[in-house]
Structure 1
Amino acid sequence: MTLQISATNPEHPALLLELPWHIPLERWPDEYLVPLPRGISRHVVRYARAGEETVAVKELARRPALREYELLRTLDRLGIPAVDPLAVVTGRTEADGSPLEPVLITRHLGGSLPYRSMFETTMRPGTVHRLMDALAVLLVRLHLTGFAWGDCSLSNTLFRRDAGAYAAYLVDAETGELHPRLSDGQRGYDIELARVNISGEMLDLEAAGALHPSIDPIAFGMEIEERYQALWTELTRTSVYPAGKHHYMERRIRRLNDLGFDVAEMQISHSDQGDTVTFVPKVVDAGHHQRQLLRLTGMDAEENQARRLLGDLESWMATQDDYAPGDRHGARTEVLAHRWVREIFRPTVRAARDHVPARMDAAELYHELLEHRWYLSEQARHDIGLDAAVEDYVRKTAAADDGCT
C-alpha cells in the first residue's frame, strides 16, 4: 500500500509527512503530541504538532474518513462553526506491512475546550445555560443549511469563549447528512437525540460530582429542546418589511433579546415587495456590549446602554450600501461605526441636548431617545424616525419641566 495524503492546502502534505504514520495512533510517541484536553470519542484521537500547526488526528475507516472530510469542507464553505478539515491520510501500514486505519486531520480550534474539561471545576448554572444556548444556536444554524447532525451531543461539540461571546463548534460530522432542506421529522429526530444525549452526559457529570446541585440533568436536556424551538421559530419566520424598516427590525431584535440571544449578524435582501431581513444569533457574557461599544466607537457606557446603542448601530449598518455582514470585526465595521457616531449619534444627542437640561450623559440620553422612538413607533405602527422622536421628546420633556416649576 502507498501512503496518500489528500489535503485542502498544498503546503500541508509536506508538513504532515513528518508525523509517524507507520505507528498506530494510540502508540504515538510523546515527542509528536501536544498535551491538550480531549473529549470522549468512539475513535482514537490525538493532538499533534505539524510545523506551526496544532492538529487533531482521528483514526477511522477509509470511507467515513473521506465522507466526513468532504462534509466538513462543505460546512466551512457554508460558514457553519465547525472544525477546519486539513487532510485525510490513507494507505498507512506498520513497519511489518500490517495495514493501519486511515486518519482524518483537522486544525485544532484555538481557545476551545471539550465540555468535560469545562466542568472540572463546578460551573455556575448561568454559565451552563449560556453554553447550552450556544449549542442551540449551532443546531439551528446547521438545520437552516439542511445539515442533519445525527448525533448532536456535548461530546461532539467544542466550546469557545471569545471576547465575551460563547460559541459552539461541531467536531464530529461522521453521522451527518446534507440535504437541500430538512423536514420537520428530520429536525425532530436531531432534537430528540440531542435531548437524550445531553441528559445522559449531564447525569454522568452529576455522578462524578462535577455538576452544580441546582441543575436537574433531565430538565436540562428538555430545556435545550425548548430553547431550540423558540430560536428556530423566531429566526425562520418570514418577514418582508416596507421601506421604513427600522421599527420592524428593532421589534425582531427585541424578541431575540427577550429569548436571551443577541444579533451577531443581520443581512438585508432587497426586492420590489420590500426588504427581507435575516438574523444570525449569538450568546454573550456579561459586559460584552460595553467592551464591544468601546472597541467600535470609543464610547464607555453601562451594559444596558451599550446593548441598546449596539442594536441601533447594527440596524443602521445593515441599511448601508457598503456594509459587509461577514466583516463584523474587521476594518469596514469600525469605519461604519465611526460614521454612525459622526452622522447619527452626535447630531441626535446635540439636537436634544440643546433643549433638555444636561442631567444625563450622552449614552443615556440617546438610549432614552431610542426608547421614545420605539414607543411612538409602536403607537403609530410604523417607524416614525429619529428626528420626529427627538422633536416629540424635547417637547414633552420641556412641558414636564415647565409643569414642575
Structure 2
Amino acid sequence: MSFSWAKPYEPKTGLGRWFDERLPLPRLVYGAIGGGYPVPRNLNYFWNFGVLAGAFLMIQIVTGIVLAMWYYSSVDGAFNSVEHIMRDVNAGWMIRYLHMNGASFFFIVTYIHIFRGLYYGSYKAPRELVWMLGLVIYLLMMATAFMGYVLPWGQMSYWGAQVITGFFSAFPVVGEPLRVFLLGGFAPDQAALTRFFSLHYLLPFVIAAVVILHIWALHIPGSSNPTGVDVKTEKDTLPFHPFYTAKDGWFAAAFLALFALVTFFAPNMLGHPDNYIPADPLATPAHIVPEWYFWPFYAILRAFTVDFILPAKLWGVLAMFAAILLLFFLPWLDKSPVRSGSYRPVFKRFFWILVVDVIILGICGVKPVEQPWIAISQVATMYYFLHFLVILPLIAKFETPLPLPNSITESVLHGEAAEAAPAGQSPRPGSVATATAE
C-alpha cells in the first residue's frame, strides 16, 4: 500500500547514494519496516506477536545449524550424539535447550498470532492471501516440528513417528504405499531418520521464504487494526520506525526473558521424559502422545470410534486435516462486513467459547484413550466444526454490530475531536494536547 504522506528514503552520505543506485537494499528495508511504512496508530500488543514469531524462527535456524554440526543421523548414533552435545560440546546443552524450547515458544506466539487474526477479522478482504500464507507457514511449522521430534531417536521419537505416519495407512489403496514412501520402509528406521533429518534442515528455510511472501502480501493492503476501520488520512498512521520498532523491541525483550527463564530453569517442562530413553521398537510406551502443540488435533483424531460408511480411523484422519484446511475458507464463511470482534457482541462471545473448546481438545489430546475423555473430545470436536460451518455464517447473517468509529484517529481519541487550545488557555479535556500531556 502506498501512502502519499509516507516520507521517501533519502541517503544521507555519498557512499549511501552510491550504494542505493547500485543495490537499493537500504531503500527496501526502509520501505518495509522504516519511516517509509505507515502503520495504524492504534495497534495493541497483540500485533507484537508477528515480530516475535520471526524472532523465534531465526533462533530455530541459527541453533539448528549449530546442532547439525554435531548431530549424527544414524539409528545407532543419533541418541548418543544428542547426549554428546548435551554433555561434551561447549555450551551444547544451552544450544540444544534453546532449540528444543524455541520450538514450543514459536508455536505459542504463532497460536496467539492466529487467534488474534480470528478475533480481529484479519482474514477478511483485502487480506485473504495474507491469512492463507500464514496458514501455509503454520502447516510447514507442524511438518518441521514433527520431523525434528523424531531426530533424538528416543522412545517417544520412534513411536511418535510410528503412530503419525500410520495415519496415512488409513487411506484406502494409496495409504500404505504412501506411508512406505515417507518412511523408506515398513517401519521407522535408518531411511526414515535420514529423510526426516534432511527435510527438517531444509523446511525452516522454506518457512523463511514464505514469511517473506507473507510480509510482502501484508504491505499491499497494509496492516489491519483493532477497529477494523481502513486508514483514511495521515493522522490515522504512525511511521513503523521509531514508534513500533520501540514497542516491538521492548515487548520482544520481555518475552525473550521469559523464554530464557524456561530454557535455563525448566528446560524439560514442555518435553516428555520418555524421550530420554533410547528408541526400542520392541517396547511400546504405556501412553504415546505427541508434543503439546499437536494435542488438539490428536484429540480430534481419536474422537472417532465408530465405523460409519468409512472406517473410524479414516474419519479421524480426515477430520484432523479438515480442522486446519477449514481455516483457509474463513474469508468466505464469515461474511460479516465488520472485521473486528470488538464491535461484534455475539461473535465475541462465541469466539471465547471457541478458545475454551480448543483448550479442552488440548487437554483431551494428552489424556489416555478412555472415558470420559473420549466423550469430551467428541463433543469438543463437534463444536469445533459447528463453530466454523454453522455458527459463524449464522452470526454474520443475523448479528447487529455496534457502531464503528468514523476513523482510527477518532477511536484513539475516544470519539472526541482533536482541537488545539487557543494560546494562553488550557487544552480542552480529551484534546490532543491533553492526551500528550497525560
Q: Name the one with the larger helix percent.
A: 2
Q: Which has the higher contact order (CA 8 A, sep 6+)?
A: 2
> What TM-score do you get using the length of structure 2 for normalisation?
0.21
> What TM-score do you get using the length of structure 1 for normalisation?
0.23
